[in-house]
Amino acid sequence: KITKITKITKITKITKITKITKMKNKMRSCSQIIKNNLF
């Protein structure tokens, strides 16, 4: 039971981290596009 819980928490942590990194990458690309359009 304990191992199952730890596995689930690990998976959720990993998914959260990947989601955050994806969002950051999107924000970066968007900002780059905006900069390119402005200048």
Residue 21 pLDDT: 95
pTM (two decimals):
0.59
Domain boundaries, the chain: 1-38
Q: Is the Cα dihedral 29, 30, 31, 33 positive or negative? A: positive
Per residue in 1-39, pLDDT (tens digit) is 778 989 999 999 999 999 999 999 999 998 888 888 876
Outline where 1-39 has alpha helix (H).
Answer: 2-38
Residue 37 pLDDT: 82
Residue 14 pLDDT: 95
Rounded Cα distance, 9 and 12, in Å: 5
Rounded Cα distance, 16 and 18, in Å: 5
